[in-house]
Structure 1
């Protein structure tokens, strides 16, 4: 007959401490963050309980190092502990006095927002650097007896009440004296090192932190202050502290959000981009704080990468951290912060865009990064409204227009936003595909960077307008619009149908497999010919991008379109009609084809073209000289 019994788990305390010290934390300097956080909690508890201080000393945290003795001391004049509380809070692993305090405050209906501690293990991180630790503490309670606690972190500790002169030397609060390990004594008794650690992890705690007589945390946690109380100079000081940038930020976003997740954020848009030629692409992200204590520098999950130009901090009390407070247990809340903060930043940019000059400054510095937001489908409309382009209606290359401005100038019944890609404004002015648009007075957006193609392709539509490449536009859609530009004076009447068709066939025979087809077009007004993709869906620029990605250096087979009203085409038709084997027709066909390839950036070897031009000039100069 079996018996049923209940047993309690047993713990090997020495081994448990070994795990806490050597496996829980990744960086030794974290011990100082934990001890300072505990000291801050002690001061907050005194403040929250409105305990009457027995002296008028300001509430503060003091850190003192002695290189000769190889010791470090962290002290506070906070709430202190009795012997029983010392045994319960320090002598009991994983018992959090702060967590118990928070629970009591909540049950009493009181707020305790400043309290940091939760797990009751942070103190033991001290043994990453300590040979032994001594705690001197006196409770704030009237008549409390000071207590001494000593341990080497091997599973046991000693504790005793102090009396006489020893007791008189201990004031309200707690003092932790650390005898440092020999190999770490020099590092953690260096004042500059201690200041750096404090500024990195605990700079924004609300109480002064004094290192060797000098206050370290002089910059307040502005994100927790009401916006109307903060001056422009304070924002500038905080921004400079955060980024080491001496310029003022271009813009500032200060938000306090309660739902769907509670957080405070202070973000800045720098005047200058750090994205120089793709360098420093990993140097971005917002600093994540929980209750004013740094959890992660440059957290890349708080904002999408296309907003990487934003610098700042996010502070929340809702995040569930792991026991070391170094990583997050649940990223769902981070994703909610990301969603909310992204909308806030886009809204702030929309406000900035109301000032065209200010937004143009932003666009010049940060557009290359911002354009990568074309994959943010959740904020598609807000993103698209913030895009800016140069266009055919602009008088200068640095002038910018939005999609909304383009739409406001669209022709009646026009439901397309037309765009064209080119290396420069001058190159686009020579693009034969845009001639019909100039003739009809239809605005074309100019795209200068490869990413622009992906932006337009991903968006596809905006406010019921289709984003359409100019070279893929159907001439019939534009033909019905009235002309605003006179046709070139040298334009000729189109050849007769039979004569033109015969010339097209001759061109196709001459160019052979170099072209997919040769046909007449109505899209040209001033150029004799152009090349178009046979599928009618892929632009030349996108085709080049895809070929470059696939390391394909071949020349694509395109359709050659001839302008029947151009004098050159008419003359060639007449020559071909008089002599189908006239060598000048062949010479002209190859010249026109290679010139079109040159314009589109596909002609890798221009030698034949140059030789042909020289031959044609020789012949033309002879005729010209005789005419004189």
Structure 2
């Protein structure tokens, strides 16, 4: 940072610098979207000033019309986008044009580097807004003055790692963004080209967008128009504007509700998951308007947190224009709007799930983990949410509903079985599933962190309790297998594991809670389970990961009585010299470590694990 006659030079945040390197090399095949982004930002600034002026008349612009003005200077090779909105001060410039305050930025940039240059999928999940200007500009200057403040500021950068801020000279509040256009982007200095872009992308902007004396857009709120008059393309462009997104909306919901509280909603479900979806703050991104006047884009009680993937607007005719954002949090009318919207969205999702299950599966892949939070947070609508929940299972590759799962239950099956873990691919390979697969018993595969928590609140469905297959006895005896014979049962019963179990218990001591014969294993020699009544294995793992649990409970080591390793060890354990058999001692620890490794955990003593493994291999050879 340097200081020269009040002109200060700053370095961009590291992530911004990396992003600009990508953006400046023409990330998009359609670079024209930069203009949509700048006009959209200008519109937001006007919205914010109009709201602020409701409670602070000193900020009022009097009779001056709020508008967005474009100017082209062909000789100077510049294009400017100006507004008379809220403006920015020095602090705002640093926070807004120097950093990206979004979690997941690093992961986004890594993925973006691997993205093909002509694809916009990932950028649509993140949105770069102002920085898109560097696709077409070799330098960007910003002159701005915040409403209610006397100082003006001038921001400037060539997008190559640094930017400067110095005092500026602007008589009124608002912001002007001036772009020095690159040689290969001179098309954006042509009036006919600029007019086409505005009419294509920004017709829905509710403030006039002017070029010279000509207004280029209709400047009418799109949501007040009948839905039959609005094209899919118009909906899509409004979604791009309000969500600052680049993807196509997966679903559009446009409704006018008349009743206890009159309101209009225009909501969109994105087709790609935004990068801030799992931010700790879990913010809503639906904007609240009152009689077409923007109020807030952070109203906490407008949309439930488990629907935070929604984008769009809600406009109410019955809320007061003078209501403060603090009062909104306890406004009973807002609570009624929230309930109405939530029920409508859940109803729409149910229709989509029934009509287009494959499309719905894509939605579920993006937002299912978020939607399931409602099973914990919204008991009143829990049944409705369960109806639209989908689950992976061992039955087939398609997702299933709970009702369909229950309809496929085997005779004698009195529970809904599930296995939970952090990795969907890994839990499908878990040895715990072997006995259930052999019996043809379907098991739900749950790999979202929220699964462990909603299962604490939803303990049964259609009179069948949920039961983890990694906790307690397998209870498979009551379920007849299509392939199992009496000979199989006799073989398992006569395995003679008593001596081996006693030997392993003696060697492992308190490291395990118990050692017993397994009815869930058919191929693997061992597995670890939580005892009945103890915390489930995956929940314990999650709590440890988040620092909420330091020490877990010892687990039960189950042995497969029909596995060759276990049978051979059982023979040695029943021999006369078993007490002096070092192999049995090493095997006890190796079996435990093998079970831990399958669970994704490390051996208890890595050095001893290697020694024991080497010793056993040497004997075998």
Fold conserved between structures, TM > 0.5: yes
Q: Which deviates more, 610-619 or 265-274?
A: 610-619
> For 1:266-294, what per-residue CA distance to the aligned partner results, in whole angstroms no more than 9, with x for missing partners?
00111222135845966642111111111
Report whether the alignment pairs 1:560 with 2:557: yes
Are the counterparts in 1 of residues 243 and 285 from structure 2 also a CA contact under 8 Å? no
Are the counterparts in 2 of residues 242 and 312 from structure 1 also a CA contact under 8 Å? yes
CA distance in 2, matches of 1:518, 1:491: 20
Equivalent runs, 1:477-516 vs 2, <5 Å: 478-485=476-483, 493-494=491-492, 500-516=497-513
The 3 A distance-change label for structure 1 pair 222 and 485 is farther
SS of the residue 1:303 aligns to: coil
CA distance in 2, matches of 1:243, 1:430: 40
Are the counterparts in 1 of residues 286 and 314 from structure 2 also a CA contact under 8 Å? yes
1:609: which partner in 2?
609
The 3 A distance-change label for structure 1 pair 502 and 316 is same
> For 1:347-392, what per-residue CA distance to the aligned partner results, in whole angstroms no more than 9, with x for missing partners?
1111221212211221222234333223221221222222222221
1:517: which partner in 2?
514
Are the counterparts in 2 of residues 434 and 471 from structure 1 also a CA contact under 8 Å? no
SS of the residue 2:514 aligns to: strand
1:353: which partner in 2?
353
Question: How far apart are 1:439 and its partner, in Å?
Answer: 1.3
Question: How far apart are 1:403 and its partner, in Å?
Answer: 2.2
Structure 1: gaps of 5 or more residues: 1-22, 40-60, 65-71, 74-126, 131-182, 194-198, 622-628
CA distance in 1, matches of 2:481, 2:595: 26
The 3 A distance-change label for structure 1 pair 129 and 423 is closer
Question: How far apart are 1:616 and its partner, in Å?
Answer: 1.7
Report whether the alignment pairs 1:540 with 2:519: no
2:23: which partner in 1?
none
Q: What's the TM-score, normalizing by structure 1?
A: 0.63
Equivalent runs, 1:313-324 vs 2, <5 Å: 313-322=313-322
2:594: which partner in 1?
595
1:586: which partner in 2?
585
Question: How far apart are 1:340 and its partner, in Å?
Answer: 0.9
Report whether the alignment pairs 1:249 with 2:249: yes
The 3 A distance-change label for structure 1 pair 438 and 616 is same
SS of the residue 1:239 aligns to: helix
2:364: which partner in 1?
363
The 3 A distance-change label for structure 1 pair 239 and 324 is same
> For 1:537-595, what per-residue CA distance to the aligned partner results, in whole angstroms no more than 9, with x for missing partners?
42111111123333655463112222333333332222122123122222211111121
CA distance in 1, matches of 2:252, 2:206: 19
SS of the residue 2:410 aligns to: coil
SS of the residue 1:472 aligns to: coil
SS of the residue 1:250 aligns to: strand
Equivalent runs, 1:203-282 vs 2, <5 Å: 204=206, 213-215=213-215, 218-275=218-275, 278=278
Are the counterparts in 2 of residues 441 and 485 from structure 1 also a CA contact under 8 Å? no
1:95: which partner in 2?
none
SS of the residue 1:590 aligns to: helix
CA distance in 2, matches of 1:529, 1:329: 54
CA distance in 2, matches of 1:603, 1:192: 56
SS of the residue 2:557 aligns to: strand
Are the counterparts in 2 of residues 286 and 300 from structure 1 also a CA contact under 8 Å? no
Number of aligned pairs?
454
Alpha-carbon RMSD across the aligned residues, in angstroms, is 4.1
Question: How far apart are 1:517 and its partner, in Å?
Answer: 2.0
Q: Which deviates more, 524-533 or 341-350?
A: 524-533
Are the counterparts in 2 of residues 322 and 329 from structure 1 also a CA contact under 8 Å? no
CA distance in 2, matches of 1:532, 1:233: 54
SS of the residue 1:287 aligns to: strand
CA distance in 1, matches of 2:286, 2:215: 26
1:85: which partner in 2?
none
The 3 A distance-change label for structure 1 pair 192 and 214 is farther
1:285: which partner in 2?
285
Q: Which deviates more, 445-454 or 367-376?
A: 367-376
SS of the residue 2:466 aligns to: strand
CA distance in 1, matches of 2:554, 2:175: 70
The 3 A distance-change label for structure 1 pair 219 and 620 is farther
SS of the residue 2:345 aligns to: helix
CA distance in 2, matches of 1:275, 1:189: 30
Question: How far apart are 1:425 and its partner, in Å?
Answer: 4.9
2:93: which partner in 1?
none
Are the counterparts in 2 of residues 296 and 326 from structure 1 also a CA contact under 8 Å? no
1:403: which partner in 2?
402
The 3 A distance-change label for structure 1 pair 435 and 569 is same
Report whether the alignment pairs 1:573 with 2:573: no
CA distance in 2, matches of 1:486, 1:531: 24
> For 1:14-63, what per-residue CA distance to the aligned partner results, in whole angstroms no more than 9, with x for missing partners?
xxxxxxxxx9867789513x757xx9xxxxxxxxxxxxxxxxxxxxx999
Equivalent runs, 1:52-131 vs 2, <5 Å: none
SS of the residue 1:457 aligns to: coil
1:383: which partner in 2?
385
Report whether the alignment pairs 1:31 with 2:60: yes
> For 1:489-523, what per-residue CA distance to the aligned partner results, in whole angstroms no more than 9, with x for missing partners?
999934758x5333322221111111122223323
Structure 2: gaps of 5 or more residues: 1-51, 70-82, 85-146, 151-167, 179-200
CA distance in 2, matches of 1:404, 1:419: 15
Q: What's the TM-score, normalizing by structure 2?
A: 0.64
SS of the residue 2:255 aligns to: strand
The 3 A distance-change label for structure 1 pair 330 and 358 is same
CA distance in 2, matches of 1:295, 1:188: 19
> For 1:145-186, what per-residue CA distance to the aligned partner results, in whole angstroms no more than 9, with x for missing partners?
xxxxxxxxxxxxxxxxxxxxxxxxxxxxxxxxxxxxxx9962
CA distance in 1, matches of 2:216, 2:57: 20
CA distance in 2, matches of 1:361, 1:598: 32
